[in-house]
Amino acid sequence: TMARGLVTAAVVALASFLVIDRATAWNYVTYGAYRYGSVDNISPHARGSRCGNSWYTLPSGWEFCPDTSQARWAARTYYWNTHCMCFTNGKAVWVRGYGRDGSDCWCDHWWWRRVDGGH
């Protein structure tokens, strides 16, 4: 399934899409029952401010991440080589090192989690 097929036009207008062409992501963090990773498979420890502008295939077993307290924790605790992580509702949160870590920002980097909890 292509990322563009899973989001609405309104969200598409707000965000750049990042891509991973591998079957599974290996750069992720585990929090609670889920593994969280960036759509472009960037290390959670990578520092920088890269924003994506490409289309990517969502790996099997992963979904775009809903806006939950666990997802917000995982986003704000790590760097992810970007400014913000986006959720399925179009909201986003600043990652570590930008803005007020964990506060709301604009959506520029998609976020996902394992559907089955990923353990």
Quickly state the pLDDT bin for 40 (edges 50, 70, 90): confident
The tally of domains found in the chain comes to 1
Residue 63's identity, in one-letter code, is E
Q: What is the pLDDT at residue 77?
A: 93
What is the C-alpha to C-alpha distance for residues 4 and 97, in angstroms, rounded to an integer?
A: 29
- Which of 23-32, 36-45, 61-70 is the least confident region? 23-32
What is the C-alpha to C-alpha distance for residues 21 and 43, in angstroms, rounded to an integer?
A: 15
CA distances from 90 to 19, 64, 75 (A): 18, 11, 15
Residue 78 lies in a domain: yes
pTM > 0.85: yes or no:
no
CA-closest candidate to residue 95, choices 49, 30, 39: 49
The string of DSSP codes covering 55-97 is --BPPTTEEEPP--HHHHHHHHHS-TTSSEEE-TTS-EEE-TT
Residue 64 lies in a domain: yes
Residue 40 lies in a domain: yes
What is the C-alpha to C-alpha distance for residues 29 and 74, in angstroms, rounded to an integer?
A: 7
Residue 119 lies in a domain: no
The 10s digit of each residue's pLDDT in 66-101 is 889 998 999 889 998 888 888 888 888 888 887 765
Where is pLDDT greater, at 44 or 26?
Answer: 44
Where is pLDDT greater, at 86 or 26?
Answer: 86
Range(s) of the domain holding residue 100: 3-114
Of all residues in the chain, the percent with pLDDT exceeding 70 is 61
Is 114 in a helix, a strand, or coil? strand
Residue 58 lies in a domain: yes
Give the mean pLDDT of the chain: 70
Q: How many helices (H) and strands (E) does the chain have?
A: 2, 7
